[in-house]
Chains A and B, each alone.
Chain A
């Protein structure tokens, strides 16, 4: 029995129980320690694994040269797999694994397994070192005059406080200021509504009751090419649905639909996922990301999930040639909420 070392014991709360120390249990020799034949067997096993590893590397190089990227391996129910990926991974993986297993087998069977004991020392520096460090620091402080020369100290702190500002100011040109760009999309009065995939303009008779079409403004492609980005698309995408006019409970504005055809933003008001999961019987629109559910027959209002605001409705009508067009831009910002939205 011996005492626990008490170098750093709090004055409050600690109850030191009786400390009992048990000696290390006696060491048991392994078969490889006592039987030279077992040791030689283990040595052979380790070496065999190293040799197999080397062979796998040669197989890897052969596979790299021989197997074209375009070859595929059918693994039945497990699916189809790129042959080169399979063979390169198999050979390289085995080569690596074998080195690891061999090294550990070597350590476990042939290296000494007698536990050794090392003693710990208190982690902190000894008191004389602490005193010496403090003395050195104090001497430096005294020589610098940091304490007495108040003016130097204060102006130094002031200068250092201002110093990082350029690093922050320089970040300003990372992007333009938002301005009112989040409030508008490229929809204009009379923008033709085209099918997103084909770019075909739509007539009301192209849509059956219960159908949903992903659509965009006719000039989207040209704007996108001019801007060289997808910013316009990220806000202007809409979905068109057609329901029986008698099913419509309410709309966000009077006369915003055309014979049961309603247009809504496709960008979720929660965090901006595009939505196109539509249940035609209930007129519910479900966001696949976070399951916000909107009732398109009732002003696109939220009926379930984390979104707070209704899907913005785009007022539409039909132009003189019989094509569906927008009456105007959206009457509210589309997509997620933002600080200045209110």
Chain B
């Protein structure tokens, strides 16, 4: 044994006298994790978060969270002599006068975009495979909340340099806050320390960005991981994989190397992006001045759906309704719509469990096709979201494709209601079709494409049975029957309590499962196999009688 390994062993021994490390290691060092590329999406989010913490600390060394006006004297010539906030001045200093400062800034910004994107795509994976089902509902809520918190954190960080682009973003948020009924104006004055823009907002945002939110995120990440560890990872169906086991590789050494190595890969790719691809060139925008604006202003992508909704929403406002001004044109797209979206997102596992009546523990993942309605709902939500994101860049899209911005806005206004239901229907039919195909594969095997002409002139296509690996995947499907509505009264004539809710639940359950294609029972599969055997035997007989050669596909 090498001295390094010996040393580690001795250190653990000494530490164990003080805390029961060995007991912890004994249970967990060889903990099994399953392998699949889609399980790495959450890892990308985790690693991006670590990169954000690391680079963020560097940025705090030089960044000055102050709106005090100073005159720039740094080495970026075009801005020399221009008055600006200390915040913007220090962001320029980091970019041009701290060696490697620009690199750290760009790593931080790229990592923030990756963090948000990885979380969102990870959520899609969890959603479409049903990984949020019991016992993991709480982890879904934690994860969903992290996306929301990450969005606020990203916006705060984006605003800190106090450049012209991000300053306009803050101006828009101030306008949104003003639209909130009853408390909006007061909220604005409290947050900004008076009228917009004041001189308190950047320092306050800084504390929010580097202390409060990272603390909450760190605690959430910790809890998220502890629960993953405790529940053991879900796995995809396949041979040897059941709801009661987990098949894969041990944490030590395989995942220590793979997941540890993947951290370095994510970090390395982020650094190379920061080296080669400029992001948020704040020096090109100039300092924030409240009466200037850049054309083609875009928020970071994760804010896009709110901005897209704000751009598309019709100009409804009640200038004086009950003695007050109601800005529906801002309130609905920027407060109500995201609020409803987040509420639906966080409550989805509970809604689905209520509709399906399924209270079992699930550790084996669903194939998206087998949960046709869920998959269709997800595709519908993504369509809705996607249209809004694109509309958040409608000026850029209009310019790039030479379209009228007015027509594009109208397209969004109508499309955001028309396309999601269409996508829902199409996705659901698509999933049901795949379910039917799975059933056919089990019952009749795969069409080989080889056509055989029998001596009496009949044409048959040879079907080859699917492999056991494929069968294992398809047979993992569990059918759930829709819930039936209870009778209005029981046998003693007493009205069923909560009848209306139960009827609704039955209706939703029927809509959810109604058209699902039943997985064939083993008896049905056996019968089909017998039939197939008989058919083949018959074909061989016919060929034999005619004295024709027997193709090997039939005898295999």
Question: Contact residues of A with B, CB < 8 Å?
Answer: 4-5, 7-10, 12-18, 20-25, 64, 69-70, 79, 81-82, 84-86, 88-90, 92-104, 106-108, 111-113, 115-120, 122-124, 171, 174-178, 181-182, 196, 214, 216, 228-231, 233-235, 237, 266-267, 270-277, 288-292, 302, 304-309, 335-342
Q: Given the interface contacts A103-B264, A229-B67, A292-B315, does A118 sit within 8 Å of B245 by beta carbon?
A: yes
Question: CA–CA, A251 to B247, complex, Å?
Answer: 76
Q: Is the CB of A288 within 8 A of B327?
A: no
Q: Are A229 and B199 in contact (CB under 8 A)?
A: yes
**B4: shortest Cβ distance to chain A, in Å?**
15
Partner of A116, one of B106, B250, B320, B361: B250
Report which of A64, A113, A119 forms a contact with B99, defined as CB distance below 8 A: A64
Closest beta carbon of chain B to A286's beta carbon, Å: 9
- The distance in angstroms between the C-alpha atoms of A88 and B134, with both chains bound, is 47
Q: Which of A101, A122, A339 has the most CB of B within 10 A?
A: A339
B191 touches A174 (CB 8 A): yes
CB closest chain-A residue, reference B334? A271
Distance (whole angstroms) from the CB of A61 to the closest CB of chain B: 11
| Distance (whole angstroms) from the CB of A339 to the closest CB of chain B | 5
Q: List 16 A-B contacts (CB under 8 A).
A: A17-B479, A18-B521, A85-B102, A85-B103, A85-B106, A90-B272, A92-B103, A101-B261, A120-B244, A174-B193, A229-B198, A270-B175, A271-B171, A337-B325, A338-B325, A341-B324
Checking A86, A119, A120, A266 against B275 with a beta-carbon cut-off of 8 angstroms, the contacting residue is A86
Q: Are B293 and A4 in contact (CB under 8 A)?
A: no
Q: Which of A8, A113, A234 has the most CB of B within 10 A?
A: A234
Nearest CB in chain B to that of A275: its residue: B293
Task: Give the CA-CA distance A86 to B106 in the complex, in Å.
Answer: 11
Chain A proximity mask over B210-227: 1 for CB below 8 Å, otherwise 0:
000000000000000000
A10-B357 contact given A81-B278, A111-B257, A175-B200, CB 8 Å threshold? yes
Q: Which of B266-323 contact A (CB under 8 A)?
A: 266-272, 274-276, 278, 289-297, 307, 310-317, 319-321, 323
Q: How far is the CA of A292 from the CA of B316 in the complex (A)?
A: 13
Docked-complex contact B185 and A176, CB < 8 angstroms: no
Judged by a CB distance under 8 angstroms, whether B339 is at the interface is no
Chain A residue at smallest Cβ distance from B239: A22
* Complex: A123 Cα to B168 Cα, angstroms: 49
Asked if B519 is an interface residue, CB under 8 A from chain A, the answer is: yes
Closest B residue to A272 by beta carbon equals: B175
Are the C-beta atoms of B172 and A93 separated by less than 8 Å? no
**B469 contacts partner chain A, Cβ-Cβ < 8 Å:** yes
Shortest CB-to-CB span from A106 to chain B, Å, is 6
The distance in angstroms between the C-alpha atoms of A153 and B49, with both chains bound, is 44
Beyond A4-B243, A338-B184, is A266–B291 a contact (Cβ under 8 Å)?
Answer: yes
4 closest Cβ pairs, A-B complex:
A89-B275, A271-B175, A97-B268, A103-B261
B129 CB within 8 Å of chain A: no
* Closest partner residue, chain B, to A2 (CB atom): B242
- CB-CB < 8 A to A17: which residues of B? 475, 477-479, 519, 521
- Enumerate chain A residues within 8 angstroms of B555, measured Cβ to Cβ: none
Write out, one digit per residue, whether chain B residues 341-379 have a CB within 8 A of any chain A CB (1) or not (0).
000000000000000111111010000000000000000
Judge whether B176 is part of the interface by a CB distance below 8 angstroms. yes
Instruction: Say yes or no for B419: interface residue by CB 8 A criterion.
Output: no
Residue among A5, A21, A107 making CB contact with B253, cutoff 8 Å: A107
Partner-binding segment picked from B15-23, B480-488, B537-545: B480-488
Asked if A182 and B195 make an inter-chain contact with CB atoms under 8 angstroms apart, the answer reads: yes
Q: Give chain A residues whose Cβ lies under 8 Å from the Cβ of B191.
A: 174-175
Hey, which bits of chain B sit against chain A, CB under 8 A?
30-32, 67-69, 75, 96-100, 102-103, 106, 134-135, 168, 171-172, 174-176, 178-186, 188-200, 230-232, 239-240, 242-250, 253-254, 257-258, 260-272, 274-276, 278, 289-297, 307, 310-317, 319-321, 323-325, 327, 329-330, 356-361, 363, 394-395, 405-406, 409, 468-469, 471-472, 475, 477-483, 509, 519, 521-522
A231 contacts B195, CB within 8 Å?
A: yes
Are B481 and A271 in contact, with the CB atoms below 8 A? no
Task: Kindly identify which residue among B96, B172, B239, B357 contacts A272, using a CB–CB cutoff of 8 Å.
Answer: B172
Q: Is B325 touching A16 in the complex (CB atoms < 8 A)?
A: no
Whether A337 lies near B291 (C-beta < 8 A) is no
Q: Tell me the complex Cα distance, A338–B197, Å.
A: 16
User: Considering only CB atoms, which chain A residue lies closest to B35 in the complex?
Assistant: A115
CB pair B482 A13 closer than 8 Å: yes
A265 to chain B minimum Cβ distance, whole angstroms, is 10
Which of B194, B231, B319, B522 is in CB contact (< 8 Å) with A309? B319
Question: Which residue of the partner chain B has the closest CB to A84?
Answer: B99
Q: Are B195 and A234 touching (Cβ within 8 A)? A: yes
| Distance between B476 CB and nearest chain A CB, rounded to angstroms | 9
With contacts A118-B245, A276-B293 taken as known, whether A13 is within 8 angstroms of B264 at the C-beta atoms is: no
* Cβ 8 A contact of A289, one of B68, B198, B267, B297: B297
Instruction: Determine whether the beta carbon of A111 is less than 8 Å from that of B254.
Output: yes
Q: With A88-B275, A341-B325 in contact, do A336 and B178 touch (Cβ < 8 Å)?
A: yes
Closest to A303 in B: B406
Knowing A13-B483, A88-B100, say if A22 contacts B240 (CB, 8 Å): yes
State how many angstroms separate the Cβ of B484 from the closest Cβ of chain A: 8
- Report yes or no: B186 in contact with A178, Cβ–Cβ below 8 A: yes
| CA of A16 to CA of B521, assembled, Å | 10
Task: List, in ascending order, chain A residues with CB within 8 A of B278's CB.
Answer: 79, 81
Cβ contacts under 8 Å, B327 to chain A: 308, 336-337
Nearest residue (CB) in B for A115 is B247
B317 touches A337 (CB 8 A): yes
- State whether B329 touches A119 (Cβ < 8 A): no
Q: Is the CB of B179 within 8 A of A337?
A: yes
A15 x B480 contact (CB < 8 A): yes
Beyond known contacts A116-B248, A274-B168, A339-B184: 7 more, CB 8 A cutoff:
A22-B239, A25-B468, A115-B240, A115-B247, A120-B246, A277-B295, A306-B330
CB-CB under 8 A from A342, the residues of chain B are 319-321, 323-325
CA of A20 to CA of B442, assembled, Å: 13
Q: A13-B481, A177-B189 are in contact. Are A308 and B268 (CB under 8 A)?
A: no
A330 to chain B, nearest CB (A): 15
- Residue of B67, B250, B268, B330 near A270 (CB, 8 A) is B330
Question: Given the complex, which residues of A lie within 8 Å of B96, measured CB to CB?
Answer: 69
Chain A nearest CB: distance from B1 CB in Å?
18
- Identity of the chain A residue whose Cβ is nearest the Cβ of B358 in the assembled complex: A10
CB-CB nearest in chain B for A333: B325
A100 touches B265 (CB 8 A): yes
In the complex, which residues of chain B have a beta carbon less than 8 angstroms from the beta carbon of A100? 261-268
The answer to whether B254 and A69 have CB atoms under 8 Å apart is: no
Verify B179–A97 contact, CB threshold 8 A: no
* Also in contact, A231 and B196, with CB within 8 A (given A288-B293, A336-B330): yes
Q: Point out the residue from A95, A102, A108, A274 that lies within 8 Å of B293, measured CB to CB.
A: A274
Chain A residues near B254 (CB, 8 Å)?
A: 107, 111-113
Most buried by A among B75, B168, B196, B483: B196
In the assembled complex, the CB of A233 is this many whole angstroms from the nearest CB of chain B, namely: 5
Asked if A103 and B258 make an inter-chain contact with CB atoms under 8 angstroms apart, the answer reads yes
Within 8 Å by CB of A96, from B168, B264, B357, B405, lies B264
With A89-B274, A288-B294, A336-B179 in contact, do A16 and B311 touch (Cβ < 8 Å)? no
Complexed CA–CA distance, A306 and B186 (Å): 24
- Decide if A104 touches B32 in the complex (CB within 8 Å): no
CB atoms of A228 and B271 under 8 A apart: no
Q: How many angstroms from the CA of A119 to the CA of B242 in the assembled complex?
A: 10
CB <8 Å contact, A101 and B265: yes
From the candidates A104, A116, A216, A288, name the one contacting B395 in the complex (CB within 8 A). A288
The residue on B at minimum CB distance from A172 is B190
Judge whether B168 and A289 touch: CB under 8 Å. yes
